[in-house]
Amino acid sequence: MDLTDLHELQSRQRAVRTFDTSVPVPDELVEQLLRSATFAPTGGNRQLWRFIVVRESSVKSQLATLYEEEAARYLGRPVEGQTSWRDVPVLIVFCSEPGGGGSSIFPAVQNLLLAAHAAGLGSVLTTLWKAREQEVRSILNVPADIEVHAIVPVGYPQRKYGRNKRRPVAEVAYRDRYGTPW
Ligand SMILES: Cc1cc2nc3c(=O)[nH]c(=O)nc-3n(C[C@H](O)[C@H](O)[C@H](O)COP(=O)(O)O)c2cc1C
């Protein structure tokens, strides 16, 4: 893969919230995604990440209820046109053991998002449930000293997506000092 191929992959990696729930995502594939996540860097290479792969209906349903409540609050209207987490094939929860510093998880999340896209899967990084973190922790049986950072639903996309829309580099990059054009 060269840089052009990488840009193609990155520019087409989108926030996918609507899934074809008739197509399963086998454990072997989930494991490959987790492998990609674990190729990411962490502070001091401590690799304190822990992943919870959620497939059980009752667990997904409980998370779905509170996520949809928070998403509706955020949007100011009920969530429409998104696959409920009840029906998404798998939810991957990104946690970390104490001592790593919270930032170390996000390179792993991004690796997984890109790997999912490369495998033809859709995914989306979510944090809206954070307002209900205590409930999430209790549903997932997360010990008190473990941090929960992100929940990523994964499944095959229901439709095709175009490239993502991002501001051009010239608008957001500076040379030597803040504000000096690149
Ligand atoms: C830190 C972070 C938190 C996010 N939280 C949510 C979320 O809770 N729910 C959601 O549907 N999307 C969430 N997103 C996805 C963004 O809304 C999405 O990436 C953005 O709108 C751009 O869409 P695109 O990647 O398809 O271009 C989050 C993204 C980031 C980086």
Q: Is the pLDDT of residue 23 over 90?
A: yes
Query: What is the per-residue pLDDT for 65?
Result: 97
Measured by CA distance, the residue closest to atom 6 of ligand 1 is 126
Measured by CA distance, the residue closest to atom 18 of ligand 1 is 15
Determine the distance separating the centroid of ligand 1 and the alpha carbon of 172, expressed in angstroms: 19
For the CA of 164, the nearest atom of ligand 1: 27
Determine the distance separating the centroid of ligand 1 and the alpha carbon of 176, expressed in angstroms: 30
Query: What is the per-residue pLDDT for 100?
Result: 79
- Pocket of ligand 1 contains residue 114 by CB under 6 Å: no
Query: What is the per-residue pLDDT for 24?
Result: 96
Asked whether the beta carbons of 40 and 114 are under 8 A apart, the reply is no
The one-letter amino acid at 135? E
Measured by CA distance, the residue closest to atom 17 of ligand 1 is 15
Identify the burial level of 88 via C-beta atoms within 10 angstroms of its C-beta, where 0-12 means exposed, 13-18 middle and 19 or more buried: buried
Query: What is the per-residue pLDDT for 28?
Result: 98
Query: What is the per-residue pLDDT for 90?
Result: 98
Q: Best substitution site from 68, 126, 133, 164 to test ligand 1's pocket, by max atoms within 8 Å of Cβ?
A: 126
pLDDT band with cut points at 50, 70 and 90 for residue 16: very high
- Residues 147, 133: Cα–Cα separation, whole Å: 10
pLDDT average, residue stretch 17-36: 98
What's the pTM?
A: 0.97
- Pocket of ligand 1 contains residue 126 by CB under 6 Å: yes
- Residues 135, 140: Cα–Cα separation, whole Å: 9
Tens digit of each residue's pLDDT (9 = 90 or more) over 110-161: 999 999 999 999 999 999 999 999 999 999 999 999 999 999 999 999 999 9
- Pocket of ligand 1 contains residue 128 by CB under 6 Å: yes
Determine the distance separating the centroid of ligand 1 and the alpha carbon of 9, expressed in angstroms: 17
pLDDT average, residue stretch 158-179: 97
Tens digit of each residue's pLDDT (9 = 90 or more) over 49-108: 999 999 999 999 999 999 999 999 999 999 999 999 999 999 999 999 998 778 899 999
Measured by CA distance, the residue closest to atom 13 of ligand 1 is 126
For the CA of 106, the nearest atom of ligand 1: 1
